[in-house]
Structure 1
């Protein structure tokens, strides 16, 4: 059975932020924590120049599509609860294989 690849598109709002430097500070610690806690690949994929918006891409590979979907759901839930200075606006999980 081929491995399953899953992708999470996570849109965040940073309401109290007023600079790109502030955004980098928030995202740097958030990305490191997601990588450490869930062992997934994560990067900012859109809205690079927007101070109060960030779009993260999170990807994982697993032998089970159910596990991959559950893992990315857990990432979205964790990000929503970890930070008080950012809000999850929307997210979408896509199974690629």
Structure 2
């Protein structure tokens, strides 16, 4: 069994409040969950209105599938014009770790 995580750091566009931030981040998290069947949540920069950290987790029988799902999630996030992807970090774990 393998588990993988993806953490992305985002710079939001023309957002001036935490309410405006939620209107961008919540649909992204819902899209990731629905489209890729992963666990996803906003995990950082909670008090900043122009920054967001979103994390994704996936569990699979093999590492290649984990990497594939996480790569597709990263590309989906990067494709959104509402924000800029500042960084992305993937970590893979196996039951042998």
In the superposition, the TM-score normalised over structure 1's length comes to 0.93
Which of 15, 27, 30 is residue 28 of structure 2 equivalent to? 30
Q: Unpaired segments of 5 or more residues in structure 1?
A: none
Offset of residue 15 of structure 1: 2.5
Q: Give the alignment's Cα RMSD to 1 decimal.
A: 0.8
Relative to total residues, which structure has the larger strand share, 1 or 2?
2
The answer to whether the aligner puts 1:43 opposite 2:41 as a matched pair is yes
CA distance in 2, matches of 1:61, 1:38: 12
Which of 83, 89, 94 is residue 91 of structure 2 equivalent to? 94
Give the length in aligned residue pairs. Answer: 94
Q: Unpaired segments of 5 or more residues in structure 2?
A: none
The aligned counterpart of 2:76 is 78
Displaced runs of 4 or more, over 4 A: none
In the superposition, the TM-score normalised over structure 2's length comes to 0.93
